[in-house]
Amino acid sequence: MMQHNKLEILHLTKRFGEKTLFEDLNLTVEEPAVLWAPSGWGKTTLLRVLMGLETPTSGSVQGVGRVSAVFQEDRLCPQLNAVQNVALVLPGLETQYKEQIETCFQQLGLDLTALVLPARKLSGGQKRRVALLRALLAPSDTLLLDEPFTGMDPETLQKAAALIRERGGGKNVLLATHDRDAIAALGWPVIQLAE
C-alpha cells in the first residue's frame, strides 16, 4: 500500500462579499471521509478550493497533489459515449482500458447498450455514473466527489458506493453529500462541517 500525503486544511476562510461561507476551518484528512453539511454551507466551494478552482480568502491547503473530481454537474463530452468519456482521463490508448472500463460500468449496472450511446442521450443517473467512473479511474492523489449519487436509485447507490470504496484506497477521498443512505453505504467517518 502506497503511503499518501495527508490532506491538510489550515485556517481556511472563504468570503463572498459580506457572506462568510466558512471561517478558520482546520481539517486533516488521512483516510476517506464524508463531508457533511447542510445545503448552502459551502461544501462545493470548499471542494473547489481544494481543486484550485477557487482562491480562499485566507488560509491554505496542503497535500492535495493531483486531483480527480466529480462536480455537481456531470461535465461530460456530449458527443462521446460513456467509454470514450472515461478514456479521456487515461494516458495512452483507449483500447488498452476498454475492457476494464466496461467491467466497471457493469459493476455500476450500466449495460453495454447504454455504453455506446452519446452521453447526451443518457439519463441523469447514467451520466452520473459515467462522471463518477471517470473520476475513479483518472490517475490522482486526491479524489473529490460532490454529491456523486445524484439521480441514482438505492440499488445503484449501493453499487457505486462499493466501487468508490474499492477504487478510493490509498488516496485522499472527500465525498460531499447530505444523503444519509449514501453515508451509511460508504461506512466512512463523517466530518460534520456545521455547528
Length of the chain as a residue count = 195
Return the CATH architecture of domain 7-192.
Answer: 3-Layer(aba) Sandwich (3.40)
Could you please report the per-residue DSSP string of 67-132?
Answer: EEEE-SS----TTSBHHHHHHTTSSS-GGGTHHHHHHHHHHTT--HHHHTSBGGGS-HHHHHHHHH
β-bridge pairing 172-176 and 7-16: unpaired
Q: What angle do CA 45, 72, 122 make, to 5 degrees?
A: 170
Could you read off the pLDDT of 80-91 as tens digits, one per residue?
999 999 999 987
β-bridge pairing 33-36 and 172-176: parallel
Stated pTM of the model: 0.91
Residue with C-alpha cell 493531483? 66
Tell me: pLDDT of 93 over 90: no
Give residue 63's pLDDT band: very low, low, confident or very high (50, 70, 90).
Answer: very high
What share of the chain in percent tops pLDDT 70? 96
Helix/strand/coil for 143? strand
Strand order in the sheet with 172-176: 67-70, 142-146, 172-176, 33-36, 190-192
What share of the chain in percent tops pLDDT 90? 67
Tell me: pLDDT of 5 over 90: no
- DSSP state at residue 45: H
Q: What residue segments make up the domains of the chain, in order of their start?
A: 7-192
For residue 97, give the amino acid letter.
Y
Between the two ends of the chain, the Cα-to-Cα distance in Å is 35
